[in-house]
Amino acid sequence: MNLSNPSESLKNRTVSSGSRSGSILGALMLFAFLLLTTQPADAASRHIVTETVETLEYDISKLSTPTKPVTGISGQFGPFRVIAPDTVEMTGAVDSFTPAVFRKLLNQYPRIRLIEMLDCDGSVDEEANLKLARMIRHAGISTNVPAHGSVRSGAVDLFLAGVSRTADPDAEFIVHSWMDENGLEAEDYPANDPIHAEYLDYYTEMGVPILTAKAFYAFSTSVPFSAQLRMSRRDLTRFQFLH
């Protein structure tokens, strides 16, 4: 800058003054611009903080929910329901999975000694039904049909598995012929077919004398699968069901 020229100096001062004013105005405008441009960032920051708080609140909520303890003697295992350390109730049918479920039940409740057969409508798998029956006998478990209880079809065979077998006078026992997967019934097979022997062998294994076993088998298969034959108290006695 040349200070020897007053007008030039004034001019420069004027410019300097204008520059200072312009600088101040520019600074203010820059500050306002920066303030405006930083608001979205602040908003974004606030959004992130909000999400973080929500996540923490959600985690705390999950952790604060107590797990309901399982206490007492109870449990459902397929058609079996544990009602006491030595007793289960049975309701429903036996299927292919029931033997494995029953084994699990005995593993957890090895003191089971009685099955109360409340409403048992047979089986959808005869092989599984006889397997389950042998498991019941091997475990030394008794069977009972209480007042107004009902056992039907394959459940009658299952009842025979009890080491001790009892039934209320009002208990219901219903039998009929079995049916295989091809829709054939007992009468459709010749008398010497091995399929009949499977049932007779099972009855004698459960302690029913062979002649009595044959008489019961003939009785139970005397009506078709679609029909029902109710056993009387006298039938239960003569076929040695109760003891």
Mean pLDDT per 10-residue segment, the chain (243 residues):
39 38 46 47 41 35 36 80 97 97 97 98 95 98 98 98 98 96 95 95 97 97 96 96 93
Boundary-marking domain end, from 32, 65, 98: 65
Note the pLDDT tens digit of each residue in 17-56. 344 444 444 444 544 444 444 444 444 444 433 333 333 3
Domain identity same for 8 and 42: yes
| Cα 102 from chain centre | 14
- Specify if 47 maps to a domain: yes
**Total count of domains within the chain:** 2
Domain identity same for 176 and 222: yes
Note the pLDDT tens digit of each residue in 110-121. 999 999 999 999
pLDDT score recorded for residue 208: 96
| Residues 114, 144 contacting (CB under 8 angstroms) | yes
Domain identity same for 154 and 57: no
| Cα 229 from chain centre | 34
Domain identity same for 50 and 89: no
pLDDT score recorded for residue 72: 52
- Specify if 70 maps to a domain: no
Nearest to residue 156, comparing CAs of 189, 133, 131, 138? 133
Domain identity same for 108 and 204: yes
Domain identity same for 131 and 217: yes
- Specify if 155 maps to a domain: yes
Domain identity same for 96 and 144: yes
Domain identity same for 114 and 33: no
Burial string for 70-87 (b: 16+ CB within 10 Å, else e) reads eeeeeeebbbbbbeeeeb
Q: What CATH number is associated with residue 136?
A: 3.90.226.10
Domain identity same for 42 and 99: no
Nearest to residue 145, comparing CAs of 114, 100, 124, 176? 114
Boundary-marking domain end, from 65, 98, 113: 65
Boundary-marking domain end, from 36, 65, 94: 65
Domain identity same for 13 and 105: no
For residues 219, 224, 230, 231, the Cα torsion angle rounded to the nearest 10 degrees is 10
- Specify if 105 maps to a domain: yes
Main-chain phi, psi angles of 82, to 5 degrees: -75, 125
Domain identity same for 118 and 98: yes
Burial degree of 239 (CB within 10 A; 0-12, 13-18, 19+):
buried
pLDDT score recorded for residue 74: 76
pTM beyond 0.75: the answer is no
Domain coverage including residue 17: 1-65
